[in-house]
DNA sequence: CAAACTGGTTTGTATTTCAAACCAAAAAGG
DNA sequence: CCTTTTTGGTTTGAAATACAAACCAGTTTG
């Protein structure tokens, strides 16, 4: 019997997107990160990073705080409880899928 | 140091899509499957199954053979060598990602 | 022989994604 | 100073995706 592929349909698409998966993975281990750090780490363009972050924020998966380092803007991002939970669930589902094939 | 999230950008998007990942996973263990079997197994509509299969075929990941069972049409699908290779690579990458976080 | 069912494909629309253009503030150069 | 460049982003278009609904040819059923 083939793997339970039905469970794949339930994957959280918001996290599944590779760019956002990368972001979520990073944020799950750093407590908080700024915009440029995330850009360097993921290799995304500023535009794409900005819009992916906006989506994650809209979903309540990250909280974005716009502040200043001295006088230059600093955008800080951290995973929310909901974001951490969703990421954990995503990983668990995917891991299960990978195991049984 | 956060996980190597750069590697996620290299995931094969064609396989990454959940519907096609499900199809590929099934085909990786069955040698050959017909259209309706794949539909039942994945829960996709006929339309979506048809177009996802078309994409996989276009990429050379599956071979589709249209034949007949008696007088009613029968569409048989099997993974090609390239498809099997791509699927294997996808799994390896993802597994690696899951392991180091 | 008309209606419904099989086994699909095509079409239309709504989302998504990416890249390129844009923008305001700050720093650097002449 | 005043222009130019750089920093730290956001907004805007255009292209690709994905999904659902409509369609279609052939077959069986009433």
pTM: 0.92
Q: Give Dmax over CA atoms of chain A in angstroms.
A: 61
Nucleotides of D under 7 A from a protein CB: 7-12, 17-22, 26-28
How do residues A41-97 score in pLDDT, each as one tens digit? 999 999 999 999 999 999 999 999 999 888 889 999 999 999 999 999 999 999 999
Residue B19 · residue B48 · CB < 8 Å: yes
Between A21-30, A68-77, B34-43, the lowest mean confidence (pLDDT) is in A68-77
| A22–chain B nearest CA distance, Å | 5
Using an 8 Å Cβ cutoff, are A87 and A4 in contact?
no
Residues 6+ apart with CB under 8 A from B79: B24, B27, B28, B61, B62, B87
How far does the CA of residue B43 sit from the closest CA of chain A (Å)? Answer: 7
Statement: residue B73 has pLDDT above 80 = yes
For the residues B69-95, what does the mean pLDDT come to? 95
| CA-wise closest residue to A33 among A91, A90, A1, A76 | A76
Of residues A85, A78, A33, A96, the one with CA closest to residue B94 = A96
């Amino acid at each position: 019997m083939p793997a339970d592929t039905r469970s794949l349909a339930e994957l959280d698409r918001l996290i599944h997107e590779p760019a956002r998966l990368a972001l979520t993975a990073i944020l799950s281990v750093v407590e908080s990160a700024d915009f440029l750090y995330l850009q360097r780490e993921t290799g995304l363009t500023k535009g794409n990073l900005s819009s992916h972050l906006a989506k994650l924020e809209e979903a309540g998966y990250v909280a974005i705080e716009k502040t200043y380092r001295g006088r230059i803007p600093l955008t800080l991002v951290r995973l929310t409880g909901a974001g951490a939970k969703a990421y954990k669930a995503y990983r668990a589902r995917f891991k299960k899928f990978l195991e049984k094939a």
